[in-house]
Amino acid sequence: MNEFLVRQSNRLPATPEGKELRQRLQPLERQRAQELRDAGILVRLWRVPGTRDSIGLYQAADATALHEALASLPMFPWMEISVEALATHPQEQRPG
């Protein structure tokens, strides 16, 4: 299983249309995020303080599966996302 650190910057504009879109999409986004949690793909999610951006710890078979999960989020078209592959640290490798 691969672990990834994912930064998501929310580019929805602060216009009346943007605000309306955010309010419409937010519950759908939460719902889809919950599904990804239940599937063990989304592990942890933090807010970058002072922003609408987030940092997430994700797990997936590979980067293609991760991409499909991220692209399934309703707010994906307005997200600027960067993905960083994480390797297991020697201190956390189970012996044998």
By CB under 8 A, name the binding residues for a copy of itself: 1-6, 8, 11, 14, 19, 30, 33-34, 44-51, 54-55, 57, 62-64, 66-67, 70-71, 77-92
Q: Which helix (H) or strand (E) holds 27?
A: helix 16-38
Question: Least Å distance between CB 40 and a copy of itself?
Answer: 15
Question: Least Å distance between CB 39 and a copy of itself?
Answer: 15
Question: Least Å distance between CB 1 and a copy of itself?
Answer: 7
Quote the tokens at residue 34: 């919950």
Quote the tokens at residue 73: 């989020």
Alpha-carbon torsion, ordered 37, 39, 41, 43, to 10 deg:
40
